[in-house]
């Protein structure tokens, strides 16, 4: 039986918290900040916890974490 591999792209983008939730970078923060409101930029600082539906998909990509 072959070993389960971790998706290389997923291990660069997602990490697990101590309680097992999936942490990800905020969306819509790569470019075009000039057209976003200051409130939106402020609220998108740091990282966010994925919703349970999205976390279920990402967990398949990170079997060993």
CATH code (residue 14)? 4.10.410.60
The span from the CA of 5 to the CA of 65, in Å, is: 11
DSSP codes joined into one string, 12-65:
HHEEE-TTSPEEEEPSS-SS-GGGS-HHHHHHT-SEEEPPHHHHHHHHHH-TT-
* Count of domains observed in the chain: 1
Say if 3 falls within a structural domain: no
pLDDT value for 23? 97
Say if 45 falls within a structural domain: yes
pLDDT value for 61? 95
pLDDT value for 44? 95
Predicted confidence pLDDT, tens digits, the chain (65 residues): 899 999 999 999 999 999 999 999 999 999 999 999 999 999 999 999 999 999 999 999 999 87
pLDDT value for 1? 86
Q: Return the structure tokens found at 55.
A: 């976390």
pLDDT value for 65? 79
* DSSP classification of residue 34: G
């Amino acid at each position: 039986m072959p070993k389960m591999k971790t998706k290389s792209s997923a291990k660069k983008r997602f990490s697990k918290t101590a309680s097992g939730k999936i942490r990800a970078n905020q969306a819509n923060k790569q470019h075009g900040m000039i057209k976003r409101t200051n409130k939106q930029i402020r609220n998108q600082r740091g990282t966010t916890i994925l919703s349970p539906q999205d976390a279920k998909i990402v967990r398949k990509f990170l079997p060993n974490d």
